[in-house]
Amino acid sequence: MQPLSVTTSPVGLFENEPRALIFDPNGSVIDPQTNIRPYERTTSIVRHLADFQALVQMPNRKFPTTAILDHLNQTSAENFLQLHLHPNAVVLFYFLFFPNGENLHKAWTERYGPRLIGCDSLTTEFYWDLRDFLNRVNNENISYCTRESSRNRSEGNNGMAYLYEQQRLYRLQLERIYNALLEEHWAMDD
């Protein structure tokens, strides 16, 4: 099952859908088809700050965001958070990867509240940590599509309800793939 495209659904249909956004200025996500599978088709990866800023200024959008700031120290990473993530309502929630991030997780999540869901360093488990974040975004999408399908069905818009239901089923399929990959990863660690 493929996600619905602009050619098969009304323009703007999924505009309010939370869309995963990765700010990755140093190209840590080298091969999205491998590194963030199965979420490579539902995630936007941005390498330049100007492109990132343009996206998060789009009205009526929601971007759960992760920033891979492996080139920044603690002070610079916090400045990025304060300038580009925390005050921005379009950024639904966010996760940061930067040097020494795991040691600042508790203090920063307490300081910045529930929208900052975590901090970590780039470890050997980096791609799995990133997939875990993307799975959380996928779960937000499942909830969004469930709500929109129900709302449209109750308003008598059965065609729209069907489109949202198809998108929900696609997202559930991604979740099953993610869980199978995760199970396989854990089995290799045993």
What does the DSSP 8-state code read for residue 186? H
State pLDDT tens for residues 40-82: 999 999 999 999 999 988 878 889 999 999 999 999 999 999 9
Nearest to 12 by CA among 148, 182, 179: 148
Number of domains in the chain: 2
Instruction: Give 98-125 pLDDT, tens digit per residue.
Output: 999 999 999 999 999 999 999 999 988 9
Q: Which two tokens stand for residue 170?
A: 């696609």
Domain of residue 171 covers 139-189
Looking at the structure, do residues 128 and 151 belong to the same domain, yes or no? no
Residue 110 and residue 171 in one domain: no
Shared domain for 107 and 168, answered yes or no, is: no
User: Is residue 157 included in any domain, yes or no?
Assistant: yes
Residue 132 lies in a domain: yes
154 in the same domain as 90? no
Residue 70 lies in a domain: yes
Residues 114 and 57 occupy one common structural domain: yes
Q: How far apart (Å, rounded) are the C-alpha atoms in residues 171 and 39?
A: 9
Query: pTM above the 0.75 mark?
Result: yes
